[in-house]
Amino acid sequence: ITYRNSNGCTQTVTVTVNPLPTITGTPTVCIGSTTQLTGSATPNATTPWTSATTAVATVDNTGLVTGVATGTSVITYRNSNGCTQTVTVTVNSLPTITGTPAVCIGSTTQLTGSATPNATTPWTSATTAVATVSNTGLVTGVAAGTSVITYRNSNGCTQT
């Protein structure tokens, strides 16, 4: 930029315009889980990442976001040039499971998960030799013992 005063004297200053950083990663997370965000360019040395609503989501200096409560929080990334970029992170609630958590061998019990179920495998059994579970939550007792049954909703959040 060049400035010329009324006497015809000039002064030139070079101005550098830095590009805005970008943020990549998945901007959704479940309560109690984490998601990794990555900022472009060299991060700010002291606090490259901040969360506007730490009661909903926290973020550490590496961009690791932890879901605290259901809602949204604006996450800001600042690079070494002082330029910033933001992303809104959504924190989803955990589903609940209702039903009787006990069954006899050869019998069934129905479990129900809250919210919309995951499209492919909403229900899984950790020990199918003890209990199996259908995609609709129908648990069948196979042998004596215990098995952890997990329900996954459409947001990818799980409950056992």
Q: Could you tell me the strand order of the sheet in which 131-133 lies?
A: 108-110, 138-141, 131-133
In the prediction, which pLDDT does 135 show? Answer: 96
Lowest mean pLDDT among 119-123, 137-141, 143-147: 119-123
- Decide: 123 and 137 in contact? Cβ < 8 Å: yes
What is the tens place of the pLDDT at every residue in 101-112?
A: 999 999 999 999
Q: Is the pLDDT of residue 1 over 90?
A: no
Span 4-33, mean pLDDT?
Answer: 94
> Into which CATH architecture does domain 23-92 fall?
Sandwich (2.60)
Mean of pLDDT over the chain: 96
pTM for the structure as a whole: 0.83
pLDDT in tens, 52-68: 999 999 999 999 999 99
Separation between Cα atoms, residue 139 and residue 64, nearest integer Å: 36
Q: Is the pLDDT of residue 2 over 90?
A: no
Q: What is the mean pLDDT of residues 33-47?
A: 95
The residue-averaged pLDDT of 37-56 equals 96
Cβ contacts of 79 within 8 Å, gap of 6 or more: 18, 21, 39, 40, 41, 42, 43, 44, 48
Q: How far is CA 113 from CA 85, 104, 118, 159, in A?
A: 37, 21, 10, 9
Count CA atoms closer than 13 A to 1's CA, side-chain side: 5
Other residues' Cβ atoms within 10 Å of the Cβ of residue 114: 15
**Is residue 33 pLDDT above 90, yes or no?**
yes
β partners of residue 79:
43
Domain limits of the chain?
A: 23-92, 97-159
**Per-residue pLDDT at 21:** 97
Higher pLDDT, 111 or 6: 111
Nearest residue to 102 via CA among 156, 49, 141? 141
